[in-house]
Chain A
Amino acid sequence: NAGVTQTPKFQVLKTGQSMTLQCAQDMNHNSMYWYRQDPGMGLRLIYYSASEGTTDKGEVPNGYNVSRLNKREFSLRLESAAPSQTSVYFCASRGGMAGNTIYFGEGSWLTVV
């Protein structure tokens, strides 16, 4: 059981380049999330998807776009990367008893130079 899988694990981008972070879960969960984690700031929600085909903005959506093409996959795209987007990105999905348990991927370390 793979749980939540993120790719790539590490990426270095130049300012202005674009890239997509991929996330897939195999637990048949409806809800999926993208967070970023910065030192001293905890995790901040970028976007979330309550179900297939729906997405909503979180706390820090500027500079990002997302796609929930099917129930398994939720991707995060940086159209024009900026140094301020250097961070660790976590994908998560929510399910379990009463839909309360949240499962995280291992993270994607992104550096924008």
Chain B
Amino acid sequence: KQEVTQIPAALSVPEGENLVLNCSFTDSAIYNLQWFRQDPGKGLTSLLLIQSSQREQTSGRLNASLDKSSGRSTLYIAASQPGDSATYLCAVRMDSSYKLIFGSGTRLLVRP
């Protein structure tokens, strides 16, 4: 059974820092992996999607990497801003299913 873990559960950094959020999964036979952002009281917004054949994806100050063999993905946020404060979740889609399996998220606070 696929399990997705995100550590740490919460992270607080000063504005301007570069930071890395971690996501690990137990079954490497994934179809793709997505990173989402969730603001308090809101739904999830997709940030980046990495196909199983890809190593990384970039969007603006965000860069997501994928290492299937080690069961890990990272989300790198450059030059963090207070507006980046949110919960970040990763989710994997397995080969034979439409289902997404979510991690429990990392709550990020960027202090001005």
Contact = CB atoms under 8 A, between A and B. Distances in A.
> Do A and B associate with each other?
yes
Interface of A: 4, 31, 33, 35, 40-45, 48, 50, 58, 90, 92, 94, 100-107
Nearest to B31: A100
A21 to B, nearest CB: 14
Contact of A102 (B34, B51, B103, B104): B34
Interface residues on B, range: 20 to 34
Given A50-B98, A101-B49, 18 more contacts: A40-B9, A42-B102, A42-B104, A42-B105, A43-B102, A44-B102, A45-B99, A48-B98, A48-B99, A100-B34, A101-B46, A102-B34, A102-B100, A103-B46, A104-B43, A104-B45, A106-B42, A107-B42
Contact of B104 (A40, A48, A90, A92): A40
B32 A100 contact: yes
Interface string B11-50: 0000000000000000000001010000001111110010
Contacts, number: 52
Contacts of A103: 46
Q: DSSP majority for the B interface?
A: strand
Contacts of A44: 102
29 contacts: A40-B9, A40-B104, A42-B4, A42-B89, A42-B103, A42-B104, A42-B105, A43-B44, A43-B89, A43-B100, A43-B102, A45-B99, A48-B99, A90-B43, A90-B44, A92-B44, A94-B98, A100-B34, A100-B93, A101-B46, A102-B34, A102-B44, A103-B46, A104-B43, A104-B44, A104-B45, A106-B42, A107-B42, A107-B43
